[in-house]
Structure 1
Amino acid sequence: MTEGATTKPVLLVLASTYPRWRGDYEPGFVHELSRRLVERFQVIVLCPHAPGADRRERLDGVEIIRFRYAPSRLETLVNGGGIAVNLRRSKWKVLLVPLFLVAQLAVLVSVLARRRVDAIHAHWIIPQGLLACVAKVLARSHAPLLVTSHGADVFALRGGVFDAVRRYVLHRAGALTVVSRALMDRLLPQMPAKRLVEIIPMGVDLEATFTASPTIERDPHLILFVGRLVEKKGVIHLVRAMVAIRRKQPSARLEIVGFGPEEPALRVAVQRLGLQTVVHFMGPALPASLPAVYRRAGVFVAPFVEADSGDQEGLGLVVVEALGCGCPIVVGNVGAVADTLGPHFRDVAVDASDEDALADRIVSVMSAGPASQRALAASVLERFDWKVIAGRYDTLLWRLIRNPCVGDR
C-alpha cells in the first residue's frame, strides 16, 4: 500500500472502552481519534457489545463491529467504570474475563483472515495488545501493530505476570504510544531498543466544542467535578474538603457530574457531613452538554489521587476541556497531569488527599478568577486540539505501513 494509492489503507482499531451509540456518556476518545482518520484510512473498530448497542453500524464514517461475549444482560464487564473497576466492584465478573478474551480473539482472527488489514491499532497493551499479537500469528497476518497505553493497563495491572505480558507485547509491536510522560517512564525499561516510541495524548475538540463563551455568566461560587466516580478520581476528598471551603466561602457549592461505583459511598459522606444542600449529584452528562457545564463554573476541580490498587489518572483530558471553556482549574498532584499542564502545573496542583490543602487551593483559585490562568490555558490548548493529535497518529501509522516488518519477530 502506497500513500498515493486510490484505495485507502485499512486500519483495524481494537478497544474495550467505546461509545455504545451516538451521544453515549461513556468515554469516546477512541472514536474521536478513529473518525478523524477516515479521510486517509478505511477504519474498522472492533469493540465489545453492550446491552442496547447495535452489533454492527457505521458512525461518522467508522465501521464498528461489536463482538458478543455473553448473553446481552450479562455484558457488563466494560461499561460503568472500566474492566478493572468492575472486577473490584463485582467479583463474579471475573467469570466474564475468559469469555471476553476468547470472543474478541475469535472475531479478530476472523477479520484478519477474511479482510485486508494494512495496520492494527490496539488501545491498551492488556488485553487488546496481547490479543493482537496472538491473532496475527493465528491469522498469519503481517499487518504492523501500533499499541497505545492509556494508563490503567500499566498503573492498575502490576506484578510479574503483567510485566511479562507487557514485555511480550512491546517486543512484537511496531510502535508504542503513551498518553503522558509518566507512562513513558514506566514502560520504557520494558521496551526493546530501536522501536518507535512517542508520547501522543488523546485530544479535545478545542476549535468547535470546548471553547469559551463571553455570553454565559460564570458563577464564581460553583465548584465543578466531571468524570467517572472511581477511587483514583479522588472525589471523596473533594466532598470532605467542602466543609473547610464553606467556612471560608459560605456560598460555595459543589456539582458532581458523572457516575460510577463510588457514588453510594459519596452520597453517604455527603449525608454524614450535612452537605445535602451544598453538594449536588447531577448524574452523567451527554458530551454535547459538557461545554455549557464548564462555562458556568467558577472552578473545575480534578482531585486525582493514586488508588489503593496503584491505579492513577493516565492523562486527565477533563482538565483540558475545562481550560478550553475558560474555566479555572485545581488538580491533584499526579504525574500524568503534571505532564499535561507542563511548567504551570505547580500553580494549580495540590496533594488532594490533604483535604485542608485542597480546600485552601480551591478557595484561592475561586478568588483569583479566570484571568489568573490565561497563560496556563494558552500553553496547554495548543498541544491538545484533535487536529494536532490526529495528524501525529496519521504520520505514525503511515510510517508503520511503509515499513510493515518493523517489530515482527
Structure 2
Amino acid sequence: MSAPARTATTRPRLLVLASTFPSHADDGVPAFVLDLARQEAVEFDTAVLTPRVAGAARSETVDGVRVRRFPYFPRRFEDLADGAILDNLKADRKRIVQVPALVVAQYFAVRRAVRAGRPDVIHAHWAIPQAFVAALAAPGVPLVVTTHGGDVYALRAAPLVRLKRWVFGRSAHVTTVNDEMRERLTEWGVPEDRSSVIPMGVDLGPARAARGQATRRPGHVVAVGRLVEKKGFGNLIEALRGVEDVPWSLTVVGDGPWRERLERQAAGLPVTFLGQRGKSEVLATLASATVVALPSVAAANGDQEGLPVTLLEAAAVGAAVVASDLPGIREVVRDDVSGLLVAPGDVDALRAALVRELTDEDARSRHQDGAVHAAAEYATERIGARYRDVLRAAARGDHSA
C-alpha cells in the first residue's frame, strides 16, 4: 500500500510506540499511553504500534487513534508484553527468550509502519526497547522519547546504560516524569535544552463523576497497582496489622507476581484482593476510600515509581493520600497539604500516617481538598498540549522545545 499523498491541509503524522497498552476498553491495563495518544490526535494524525496481547484486535481505531498490534512470538507462549515487561521477566526468567524476538519483530514492524505511513515524528514510550528500536529502524525520523521509571531507575548494568546513552544521543527530545529522572538524563549526556519533565495526565471528568457518585466507607483503606516489589504493599499490610484501636479494612486492586505471597501475609486480616479491574471500577474504589495508600519502595533491581498514574487518579477523586516520599510522588503530594508523606520502607511511620488519616477528620478533609487542587495541574488536556508542543518542535527540527 502506498503512503497517502501530502496536501497543504494534511495534518502532521505521528507514530507512537509502546509496550504497555490496553487490549480493549476498561480492561484494567494502564491506559496512559492511549489517553495521551487521544490528546496527541487533536493535532496529529496518530497511529500506535504495540505488541500483540491475547484477546486484542490486530488492528482497530479508538477515538481517532489507529492501533496496530504486531506478533512477536508463537501465540501460545506470547506473554512478555502482557503488562509490564520488567515485572514479567522478574516473575518468570524463562520469558527472556521472548526479548530478542520482540525486539526483532518490533524492528520490522516499525520499518513497515514508517514506509506505509511516512510519520513526521515518532513518540517512543520507554527507552528500551521502543526508542532503541526506533533509532535503528527509522533513523531519518525525528524521535521523541518518554521515560517512565523502570527504563531509568532499573536496567543499571553498564552495557544497558551505554545503550540508553546511545538512544538518547539520537533523540530529538527526551521527556521524563520527575525532576530526579531528568537529572539522571543530564548525567548521561542529554543536554538540558533537549529534555523536559512532563508527566502523564489524568482524565478529570470520570474522576469527578466517581467522586460525586461514591460513598466513602469508614475505615476503608485502598491500594491500587501491580502486585510487585516496588509497590511496597507488604509494608502496608504489616503497618495495618499493628493498628489495633481503629477499625479498618483494606482493598487491594491489581494483580501480579507478588499476589500469592501478599495473600499469605494478609491471612486472617480484613484484606480483600480484587485482582485487576477496569478503570471505572478502579476510580469507584478509590472514591470509596477513607485513605488511599501508596507505600512505594525501591526494588532490589533499582526500579521505583516515576509518577504513578494511580496517585493522580486518587488525588482527582479527592482521596486522602498516604504515600512514600519519593521523587515524582512528592511533586503531587505536599506533606500535610495534599496528603501525608512517609519515608519509604518505614512501617512505623506508615502506620502512624494511616491512623492519622483514619481518625483526624479535619486533617483528612484538608488533605482531600488539597489533593483535588493538585490533580488539576495534571489534567490530560494540559499534559497533552505540552506533549504536542514537544512533538511539533521535533517534527520541524527544533530540538529545544
Task: State which of 29, 34, 47 in structure 2 corresponds to 1:26.
Answer: 29
Which stretch shifts more, 345-354 or 49-58? 345-354
Cα distance in 2, alignment partners of residues 132 and 177 from structure 1: 16
Does the alignment pair 1:264 with 2:260? yes
Q: CA deviation at 1:222?
A: 0.5
The match for 1:77 is 80
Cα distance in 2, alignment partners of residues 266 and 48 from structure 1: 30
2:137 counterpart letter in structure 1: A
Cα distance in 2, alignment partners of residues 168 and 36 from structure 1: 29
The match for 1:113 is 115
**Structure 2 residue runs without a partner (length 5+):** 1-6
Task: State which of 336, 347, 359 in structure 2 corresponds to 1:367.
Answer: 359
The match for 1:203 is 201
**What number of residue pairs does the alignment pair up?**
392
Task: State which of 13, 19, 30 in structure 1 corresponds to 2:16.
Answer: 13
Task: State which of 354, 358, 361 in structure 1 corresponds to 2:350.
Answer: 358
Aligned partners of 2:26 and 2:280 also within 8 Å: yes
Task: State which of 94, 101, 104 in structure 2 corresponds to 1:102.
Answer: 104
The match for 2:166 is 168
The match for 2:309 is 317
Aligned partners of 1:255 and 1:281 also within 8 Å: yes
Cα distance in 2, alignment partners of residues 353 and 207 from structure 1: 34
The match for 1:89 is 91
**1:344/1:397 Cα in 2 relative to 1: closer, same or farther (>3 Å)?**
farther
Which stretch shifts more, 207-216 or 285-294? 207-216
The match for 1:289 is 281
TM-score of the pair, normalised by structure 2 = 0.93
Cα distance in 2, alignment partners of residues 333 and 122 from structure 1: 28
Cα distance in 1, alignment partners of residues 212 and 37 from structure 2: 32
Q: What's the CA shift string for 1:129-162, capped at 9, x where partnerless?
A: 111110124xxxx321100000110111102111
Q: CA deviation at 1:70?
A: 0.8
Q: What's the CA shift string for 1:245-289, capped at 9, x where partnerless?
A: 2x131x211111111110000011112xx32xx011111111122
Cα distance in 1, alignment partners of residues 157 and 370 from structure 2: 37
Aligned partners of 1:210 and 1:322 also within 8 Å: no
1:124 counterpart letter in structure 2: W
2:197 counterpart letter in structure 1: I
1:196 counterpart letter in structure 2: R
Q: CA deviation at 1:87?
A: 1.0
The match for 2:219 is 221
**1:159/1:210 Cα in 2 relative to 1: closer, same or farther (>3 Å)?**
farther
Q: What's the CA shift string for 1:89-136, capped at 9, x where partnerless?
A: 111110000000000001111221233111000001111111111012
The match for 1:388 is 382
Cα distance in 2, alignment partners of residues 191 and 41 from structure 1: 30
Q: CA deviation at 1:352?
A: 4.2
Aligned partners of 1:12 and 1:43 also within 8 Å: yes
Q: CA deviation at 1:394?
A: 1.1
Does the alignment pair 1:56 with 2:53? no
Q: Secondary structure at the match of 1:13?
A: strand
Cα distance in 2, alignment partners of residues 267 and 368 from structure 1: 29
The match for 1:302 is 294
TM-score of the pair, normalised by structure 1 = 0.91
Q: What's the CA shift string for 1:65-92, capped at 9, x where partnerless?
A: 1110111121110224x11111111111
Q: What's the C-alpha RMSD, in Å, of the aligned pairs?
A: 1.9
Q: Secondary structure at the match of 2:40?
A: coil
Cα distance in 1, alignment partners of residues 295 and 203 from structure 2: 23
**1:214/1:109 Cα in 2 relative to 1: closer, same or farther (>3 Å)?**
closer
1:145 counterpart letter in structure 2: L
**Structure 1 residue runs without a partner (length 5+):** none
The match for 1:134 is 136
Which stretch shifts more, 362-371 or 292-301? 362-371
Aligned partners of 2:334 and 2:341 also within 8 Å: no
Q: CA deviation at 1:27?
A: 0.9
Aligned partners of 1:182 and 1:335 also within 8 Å: yes
Q: Secondary structure at the match of 1:103?
A: helix
Query: Runs (4+) of structure 1 moved beyond 6 Å?
Result: none
Aligned partners of 2:334 and 2:340 also within 8 Å: no
**1:345/1:306 Cα in 2 relative to 1: closer, same or farther (>3 Å)?**
farther
Q: CA deviation at 1:400?
A: 1.4
Cα distance in 2, alignment partners of residues 21 and 216 from structure 1: 25
Cα distance in 2, alignment partners of residues 378 and 293 from structure 1: 16
